Structure 1
């Protein structure tokens, strides 16, 4: 069915119409408008080369294009961009059918878990089914309408398959609605059959009009607000847990004002770190399994806890063992009702900034007891001393530990630097040790903790924040997962700085394996020994040479002194640069402090090896502290 008679129309293919529509979508928040979809990443194959590919090339197309090397990595780059732009602008990602489309799944899951918008446009098999099966078609004998793209359904916030051109109109509008909804946003998938992409249709001109999507900032219900204020006023040891929602809503100033007025200490999740700068008196650092001793001590003693924009993950709650006060009660300020109801406490369903501003008014005149403020200051000072000890080099001529690498970077960085990490042992060290100087400096993806995220995300962040130093911090295991987008950084002349920490294996999981009786099995990068185990010589892998072969300038510092010079040179570089560091094993003096809280990783209940038996005894002791907060 075409447009009604006499209504102005434009004859375009479905792919051309989609790009024209996307180029006219805008977001608005706090009176500021910006374009929603600012570019499209793409790798072309027979599922999209003649559709989206042709449309991007068509004269008059107002859609910038970025060339990727790996479909998963393209999503990571788009997610990094969206996070840096506070979810107000995003990228689209187009792929061919089959392997290209299924490679999107990991990136889509990461986006959805972290509530970050990305528009996925995978090619799909023919809607008209002129021949079955076509190349790369998954045959499901009992369901002819299933393709490999259906695996994107559970990891997408919205999914539709456009089997006729006119079906694009309601689907595209619904997709924009989800992308711009702070409570629902994540990966949005429009699967595009390759014949429909190239099919022409008379589109109503109104479809292409400029649309502005208001990003909602709902205010709190007055009764919920009053209940939360009563909870905090009645507390002797209150605590705020700041999550990623503080950053997404731009609530940092509101949080600072609340902390200044009330003296309530603030601990941060991985996503919330930087909600207060590290030198603010109320900032207690990270909370939970990877948190600081200061934050975790206050959490154990807290009788009232206000969560702001947090999903209350197991790392934050130490697998439900952290909050031990017998009468502790919770209130959760969150734009998502599903997250606000967690921890069995009061719900305050609202935008973080709006909620904190109104809560500050409701708490006017309230301040924590002087003795509690003194305790917070003492805990903070003690932890800062431990951080300084972990950062301090004993010998400038020695090989650095991982913590000392962070210490040298800490000396060089200012508020303009952005650090990106996602997996391995680095998230724990960063959460405990890094001194965050600006609201967006700390970019650790720990909702999905996806190996291979850092390098492509750095590209997305560099596109969103040109001129700022962007650091991708990776271990050797993560680097080997996904280094290919370095070629894109070279191609786009983006001066990202990649720091590779070489520890010859999956060091983080190796440590966890040792703690749970697994004896580091299968975690080292070594040759097989005579007994068949991977305990022989270290593999002769040269990751620095690999980075150089992909076009990066490479530094190979051997000592802490060399490292300081290399990091300074990388920070000043105007091209993609790699600093390759062979790290020293941490010890009790120069290594990071151990975990300050527990994390539940079940241990074998029956075993013969002593390490597993001992680990199970420790597990039973720890799990006994778990509480179900009702």
Structure 2
């Protein structure tokens, strides 16, 4: 007996939009829409495909208009991070520059292990009119397009040459987006003729589909080995990364460390993994960390990394963990990260792994002296933080004073957003978050221009929270266009625009490396020197922000900033507070090094002196390959 399969005759683009509308994730019994909407900028490569489908099917997928292709990926990534990777957004562009503009965002997503779905248009599958406008022609290959640049920065890549291929490709895309161990940028390239081509798609393709987000428990033998190491450790330390927050493991970590007394140092992504004031909270670790956490790291004999990928800032370029016999335990859902530092591989979900360790270590605690040392180190560091927050400098305030003013004005649930430059370093050292989602700094890719777009994504994901964007003039000039998007969508952002007329963080790094802040200031070219060390440029960033639709308040000095910031918080509109700061006023030193090579030979005395310092630090660098058994 034969049966007729029910089908829908749709274009490939219409079928994809309908499919995405029915995708959900589920973790701990709670379901979430996997793809909550679609950013898009339209051109000839997607306007009649994905664009037509979004117009025709508005109830399937909400459309958001962006101003820059890279920025819309940043916004989608920030959205996904705020939703703990359980929901994200899609991004569609035309073929050519619209598509390749997304590559930076794709790299950022994959490096940070955050899901985003990219739908770039592509050249004709039929090649009926080749060569096309914006088509890449290569003499050695006919099947390569500009979109192949997405391959190394995507966790999954496919090109849908035929409508029928969408069935398997779309399912594979959802598998990767919803897998906490595999997630990152997912790229489905859509040739523009295929987007508009119709086919009979099986009705089952559009059924409601729920992707279970797993919480794998650690292997019993690996768990037993980790417990033995921790029980015999005299000076254990936990390094908490972003995986703790992504897996909603912060409460489990707080209970575990309260019971055991093991101090916790946090990475940039894991900054809010343990609230400030918790007896085990030692603060930020690494090059931009605190003296408290870095001292404990140097003393540690066993280090339990939870949800961290051990970036060089975290390890101070492998100079921080000084005990010659130090052992590492890597609790991570990603196998790549469990094998780092020659650590004991404890592959598991962060919360499941912490809970398993808590059960196995029930009744175990570090000596009282270890708890007391942690408390004393943190107390000393907190005094330095308060000094940095409240000191009065003239004529321009220090950046840390501005952070202190913001700290005094916002609530625990408000979200501070930043990315590249000197602000993330100061935030990592000085900020004291109590809410797991209250600290949002992108530092895996350290991407200038992420800040405002990221703030937009945070506000879209958490409209009940105040989104406070901290951006320097260098990053602002890279990408400020999404102010217009926030205004258009009635999504209120508070943007603190810190102007120090150049690249403050790289300026300080340049000075420390003997390069004398060369090329790091926004200045006229001096006719006598031939360098950019003339007068300051007459650039008015506040006026630029106003031209994009934001309300703008100019502040001069810390007291005026406090008043202006309070007005911005109270406003219902996107507001930019502009403040000039002293680029030479540094925050407290972390005491940790970062490996940036210095010229081995040079005629500049500043460079040769920096090289001697560099070689001294290199003697403390080691590969961290000691086995755990």
Q: TM-score, normalising length from structure 2?
A: 0.98
**Residue deviations 1:259-279, cap 9 Å, x none?**
110000000000000111111
Once the two structures are TM-superposed, the CA of residue 49 in structure 1 deviates from its matched residue by 0.2
Matched pairs, number: 623
Task: Find the aligned partners of 2:86 and 2:504 in 1 and give their Cα distance.
Answer: 36
Matched, 1:408 2:405: yes
Q: Who is 2:497 aligned against?
A: 500
Q: Who is 1:628 aligned against?
A: 623
Q: Who is 1:581 aligned against?
A: 579
2:416 corresponds to which of 400, 415, 419: 419
Matched, 1:264 2:262: yes
Once the two structures are TM-superposed, the CA of residue 170 in structure 1 deviates from its matched residue by 0.2
Once the two structures are TM-superposed, the CA of residue 595 in structure 1 deviates from its matched residue by 3.4
Q: Who is 1:618 aligned against?
A: 613
Task: Find the aligned partners of 2:3 and 2:143 in 1 and give their Cα distance.
Answer: 33
2:63 corresponds to which of 62, 65, 74: 65
2:594 corresponds to which of 590, 594, 599: 599
**Residue deviations 1:239-259, cap 9 Å, x none?**
000000000100001100111
1:17 is paired with a residue of what secondary structure?
A: helix
1:380 corresponds to which of 378, 381, 389: 378
**Residue deviations 1:24-43, cap 9 Å, x none?**
00000000001100000000
Matched, 1:118 2:113: no
Q: Who is 1:428 aligned against?
A: 425
1:540 is paired with a residue of what secondary structure?
A: coil
Q: Which blocks of at least 5 consecutive residues in structure 2 are unaligned?
A: none
Q: Who is 1:162 aligned against?
A: 160
2:387 corresponds to which of 381, 386, 389: 389
Check the 8 A contact 2:504/2:583 in 1, yes or no. no
Once the two structures are TM-superposed, the CA of residue 584 in structure 1 deviates from its matched residue by 2.5
Q: Who is 1:24 aligned against?
A: 22
User: Per the alignment, do residues 582 and 166 of structure 1 end up closer, same or farther by CA in structure 2, a change over 3 Å counting?
Assistant: same
Q: Who is 1:444 aligned against?
A: 441
Check the 8 A contact 2:294/2:590 in 1, yes or no. no
Task: Find the aligned partners of 1:44 and 1:536 in 2 and give their Cα distance.
Answer: 42
Matched, 1:466 2:463: yes
Check the 8 A contact 1:393/1:560 in 2, yes or no. no
1:542 corresponds to which of 537, 540, 543: 540
1:515 corresponds to which of 498, 505, 512: 512
Q: TM-score, normalising length from structure 1?
A: 0.98
User: Per the alignment, do residues 188 and 64 of structure 1 end up closer, same or farther by CA in structure 2, a change over 3 Å counting?
Assistant: same
Task: Find the aligned partners of 1:584 and 1:572 in 2 and give their Cα distance.
Answer: 27
1:154 is paired with a residue of what secondary structure?
A: helix
Task: Find the aligned partners of 1:355 and 1:186 in 2 and give their Cα distance.
Answer: 22
2:366 is paired with a residue of what secondary structure?
A: coil
Give the aligned CA root-mean-square deviation in angstroms. 1.1
2:477 corresponds to which of 476, 480, 486: 480
Q: Who is 1:557 aligned against?
A: 555
Alignment of 1:81-160 (within 5 A): 81-160=79-158
Task: Find the aligned partners of 1:512 and 1:413 in 2 and give their Cα distance.
Answer: 31
Task: Find the aligned partners of 2:43 and 2:524 in 1 and give their Cα distance.
Answer: 38
Task: Find the aligned partners of 2:583 and 2:150 in 1 and give their Cα distance.
Answer: 41
**Residue deviations 1:177-234, cap 9 Å, x none?**
0000001100000000000000000000000000000011100111111111111110
1:181 corresponds to which of 179, 182, 192: 179
Alignment of 1:329-344 (within 5 A): 329-344=327-342
Check the 8 A contact 1:256/1:276 in 2, yes or no. yes
Alignment of 1:363-378 (within 5 A): 363-378=361-376
Check the 8 A contact 1:414/1:437 in 2, yes or no. no
Q: Which blocks of at least 5 consecutive residues in structure 1 are unaligned?
A: none
Task: Find the aligned partners of 1:424 and 1:59 in 2 and give their Cα distance.
Answer: 41
Once the two structures are TM-superposed, the CA of residue 398 in structure 1 deviates from its matched residue by 5.7
Task: Find the aligned partners of 1:584 and 1:289 in 2 and give their Cα distance.
Answer: 22
Q: Who is 2:308 aligned against?
A: 310
Task: Find the aligned partners of 1:54 and 1:61 in 2 and give their Cα distance.
Answer: 13
Task: Find the aligned partners of 2:345 and 2:582 in 1 and give their Cα distance.
Answer: 47
2:375 is paired with a residue of what secondary structure?
A: helix
2:42 is paired with a residue of what secondary structure?
A: coil
Task: Find the aligned partners of 2:531 and 2:233 in 1 and give their Cα distance.
Answer: 56
Check the 8 A contact 2:392/2:401 in 1, yes or no. no
2:245 corresponds to which of 231, 239, 247: 247
Check the 8 A contact 2:93/2:119 in 1, yes or no. yes
